[in-house]
């Protein structure tokens, strides 16, 4: 499957036209729908999303993803996320659009990195009949209390200024497979920068604090990379421990980097197997 096989449309969400991607289905009318959420500075066809989508669409599921505002082909200032509230409510609106369009019997939310935090935030507002899958979720960042105060102050006066250095822009720290790493580096829709906007950095911090305070009640799968240096796994571990749902699973992958679906084989085979097995058991 190539990106030419994926149908994309623009839908009005709030003040922006967002790009929604429909991955090809292997059955005429799938009754199960999966909506994927991408990470910061990525988009709905980025390798960390695309490869997860390809694995899932082979299971007779309808798989969709979208570009957040300021990301990919969607409208908005490049790389700018105005607030945690705006990001979550935008995601809720997209989720409702997809649910109303397809009326699925089973519905799954899948999020990678920051997309994991967003998927979690959506699940706190909308009933999820299938489950919530978090891939290396951004639920805790290495930002001190003092740094958070400074960041909030800067965001109040210079929200769009791009000056915050970030490891999240480094492909070498995220993707093990050389070909997929190169694919990420060559992606024309990803900003080529080593800094991020002040307001976006503050939004990421506030988003992790907001969503990690409430554990989901839907079936939960968390996949963690043991060598992740982009997010701190302690946040996901706390969420898992606090989740009161009887159906919850956490899997760790020694040697894995942040971009789990961009690992090399045989580790990638295990990650894909665990993802498919968990979903199939809940159809």
- Identify the pLDDT of residue 92: 98
236 in Cβ contact with 222 (< 8 Å)? yes
Q: What are phi and psi of 219, to 5 degrees?
A: -50, 140
Tens of pLDDT, residues 169-208? 688 999 999 999 999 999 999 998 889 999 999 999 999 9
- Identify the pLDDT of residue 27: 81
Tens of pLDDT, residues 77-103? 999 999 999 999 999 999 999 999 999
- Residue 86 CB neighbours (<10 A): 15
- Round to whole Å and give the CA distance between 220 and 79: 29
Tens of pLDDT, residues 30-40? 999 999 999 99
CA dihedral 192, 194, 195, 201 (to 10 degrees): 90
Closest CA to 139 of 68, 76, 220: 220
Confidence of residue 234 (pLDDT cuts 50, 70, 90): very high
- Round to whole Å and give the CA distance between 31 and 41: 31
- Round to whole Å and give the CA distance between 255 and 88: 31
Closest CA to 258 of 200, 180, 188, 158: 180
Confidence of residue 166 (pLDDT cuts 50, 70, 90): confident
Burial status of residue 147 (CB atoms within 10 A of its CB: 0-12, 13-18, 19 or more): middle
Return the residue matching tokens 């990650």: 271
- Round to whole Å and give the CA distance between 106 and 219: 12
Token pair, residue 18, equals 């967002």
Q: What is the mean pLDDT of the chain?
A: 95
Return the CATH class of domain 3-280. Answer: alpha beta
70 in Cβ contact with 76 (< 8 Å)? yes
Pairing of strands 62-66, 16-22: antiparallel
Provide the CA 96 distance to its chain's centre, in angstroms.
Answer: 17
Q: How far is CA 154 from CA 122, 136, 160, 191, 201, in A?
A: 28, 28, 10, 22, 10
Whether residue 1 is predicted with pLDDT greater than 60 in this model: the reply is: no
CA dihedral 122, 106, 129, 5 (to 10 degrees): -20
Return the residue matching tokens 């623009």: 10
């Amino acid at each position: 499957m190539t990106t030419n096989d994926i149908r994309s449309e623009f839908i009005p969400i709030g003040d922006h036209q967002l790009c929604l991607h429909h991955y090809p289905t292997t059955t005429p009318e799938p009754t199960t729908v999966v909506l994927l959420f991408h990470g910061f500075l990525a988009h709905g066809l980025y390798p960390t999303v695309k490869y997860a989508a390809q694995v899932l669409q082979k299971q007779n599921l309808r798989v969709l993803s979208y570009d957040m505002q300021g990301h990919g082909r969607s409208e908005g200032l490049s790389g700018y996320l105005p607030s945690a509230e705006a990001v979550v409510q935008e995601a809720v609106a997209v989720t409702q659009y997809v649910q109303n369009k397809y009326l699925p019997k089973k519905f799954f939310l899948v999020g990678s990195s920051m997309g994991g935090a967003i998927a979690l935030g959506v699940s706190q507002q909308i009933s999820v009949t299938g489950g919530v899958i978090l891939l290396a979720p951004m639920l805790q960042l290495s930002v001190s209390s003092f740094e958070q105060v400074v960041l909030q102050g800067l965001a109040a006066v210079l929200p769009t200024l791009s000056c915050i250095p970030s490891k999240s822009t480094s492909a070498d720290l995220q993707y093990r497979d050389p070909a997929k790493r190169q694919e990420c580096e060559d992606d024309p829709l990803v900003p080529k920068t080593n800094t991020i906007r002040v307001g976006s950095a503050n939004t990421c911090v506030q988003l992790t604090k907001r969503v990690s305070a409430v554990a989901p009640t839907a079936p939960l799968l968390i996949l963690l990379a043991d060598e992740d240096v982009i997010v701190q796994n302690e946040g996901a571990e706390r969420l898992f421990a606090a989740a009161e749902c009887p159906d919850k699973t956490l899997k760790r992958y020694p040697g894995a980097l942040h971009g789990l679906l961009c690992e090399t084989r045989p580790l990638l085979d295990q990650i894909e197997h665990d993802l498919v097995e968990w979903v199939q058991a809940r159809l």
